Amino acid sequence: MDRRIIIAGTGSSSGKSTVSLGLMGAFRKRGLTVQGFKCGPDYIDSSYHTAITGRSSRNLDSWMLTPAILREIYTRGSRGADISIIEGVMGMFDGKNAGSDEGSTAEVSALLGAPVLLVVDVSGMGRSAAAVVKGFQAMAGEGVHIAGVIANRTGSPGHGVLIKQAVEQECGIPVVGCLLRDHGLSIPERHLGLIPSLERGDLTPLFQALANHAEAGVDLEAVWELAESPEVEAESRLFAEPACASGPKPDRLRIAVARDAAFHFYYPENLELLEHYGAELVFFSPLVGELLPEAVDGLYLGGGFPEEYAGTLAQNRATAQSIRSAVEDGLPVIAECGGFMYLCRSLVQTEGSVHGMAGVFPGKTVMQTKLAAMGYREAMGAAGNPLLSEGETARGHEFHYSIYVPGEDGGDSYPSAYTVSGRKGTSPEGFLYKNTSAGYTHLHFASNPRMVEHWLAFCRKWRDR
């Protein structure tokens, strides 16, 4: 048997993150090995999971990934764990669109056969909490089992007793936790959501407080019992032996990966697939002024928060020059969102300050006070794209507050890297320059592993040119 539980919410502000982290911390305090997962494409919650569990958290996105690949990612990630805690996304039934469960926490529950703990913010309600739970039960489709409820932000122990009585009487499922309202436990937010753990320094006091909060208000034994589930039968596809495995083993490619507080949005599978298909990853930090490593055959500049460190990045001119020179020399480069922003001429903050970046692209990125783009994207490769071949598709998402403003000299006549489709239609996205594929879209390589083989083959050809 396997133990897994999904922490779903009635909405985005119901308290899923604090409950999920609290349970992870409480079970770790008991000496258990805990694996964190996050439904949907979110990178930030996953960074918190990783920090509190000591194991790399993984995203389970049922729109970007096929059911077989999602199950494989789950089974690989949960190997060796005593319990897996899966944090949901938004409300339990919120996903790609309003007409189905596609991409939702409910769909992940069905695909994994994972029981659900529904977190309900009960502040300002009593018996009505049972009506909320009953509505969620009525919406739950085949294979989705709401196993219990956690009443969050109760006003007093008596309030919790009232909620427990109403829900258990009307809904027939246990209330396994009543968490008192505690304003000191709110996780700080900013324009991109939760502050990444990499920027927070020592998170131990927060994690201890969350674990203590969960221990005080949740029946951990009941959660442990509810989490017992049949093993997930995974079809091994994503990390099967490459087609070339029976032939001669080529020398491993050296792929540089920017990784620090400014650039750290990488799906673990993206990096693992690069390694699986023959890459040796060489990590470096543009933020601390490290130059692009020598003798590399490719560069991956992931997303993150370059705008939060724009001043420091602007001062590290030698780093920027080493990357720009490599791009001009034709080094194969993948740049996503924050990485794309770094390759532009400058980054302009909301108050107007301008910070010079690497200068590969003549335009600038300008920070906005509101979201510029958010949502799932299906990307189709454009002609000459070293990562995603022309006509090939992959899935990913956008989430950014900046916009790209072309250079005043009109030197932005680069072909697009992709054609992307989303809720608002289809449009060109990103740029191709030399051997660089850059744009705002974060692609999940597991949505089309062929692009990893294609890109590494291109890197090998460039190396052996």
pLDDT at 250: 66
For each of the domains in the chain, give its residue range(s) and CATH number, in order of start. 2-229 (3.40.50.300), 243-463 (3.40.50.880)
Which residues, 6+ apart, have CB-to-CB distance to 180 below 8 Å? 153, 154, 155, 156, 157, 160, 216, 217
Nearest to 179 by CA among 146, 220, 137: 220
With the C-alpha atoms ordered 377, 399, 351, 407, is the resulting torsion angle positive or negative?
A: negative
Task: Measure the CA–CA gap between 387 and 361, rounded to whole angstroms.
Answer: 19
Residue type, 152: N
Q: Where are the alpha helices (DSSP H) in 9-56?
A: 16-29, 44-53
CA neighbor of 36 nearest in space, from 18, 53, 23, 17: 53
Q: What is the pLDDT of residue 408?
A: 77
Beta-bridge mates of residue 194: 189
Strands (E), 48-127: 58-60, 83-87, 116-121
CB atoms near residue 138 (< 10 Å): 7
Main-chain phi, psi angles of 297, to 5 degrees: -110, 0
Q: What is the CA radius of gyration of the chain?
A: 23
**Which pTM was predicted?**
0.93
pLDDT at 91: 93
Closest CA to 305 of 271, 339, 332: 339
CA-based nearest residue to 93, from 79, 74, 106, 110: 106
**What sign has the CA pseudo-torsion 450, 452, 457, 461?**
positive
Tens of pLDDT along the chain (465 residues) come to 899 999 999 998 899 999 999 999 999 999 999 999 999 998 889 988 998 999 999 999 999 999 999 999 999 999 999 999 999 999 999 998 888 989 999 999 999 999 999 999 999 999 999 999 999 999 998 999 999 999 999 999 999 999 999 999 999 999 999 999 987 777 766 545 455 554 555 678 889 999 999 999 999 999 999 999 988 987 767 887 654 444 455 678 999 999 998 999 999 999 999 999 999 999 999 999 999 999 999 999 999 999 999 999 999 999 999 999 999 999 999 999 999 999 999 999 999 999 999 999 999 999 999 988 899 999 999 999 999 999 999 999 999 999 999 987 666 789 999 999 988 899 999 999 999 999 999 999 999 999 999 999 999 999 998
- pLDDT given for residue 246 in this prediction: 47
Q: Which amino acid is at 30?
A: R
- Positions annotated as catalytic residues are 337
Number of H helices, E strands in the chain: 14, 27
140 contacts 146 by C-beta, under 8 angstroms: yes
Exposed / middle / buried, residue 1 (Cβ in 10 Å: 0-12, 13-18, 19+): exposed
Angle, alpha carbons 228-40-274 (nearest 5°): 100
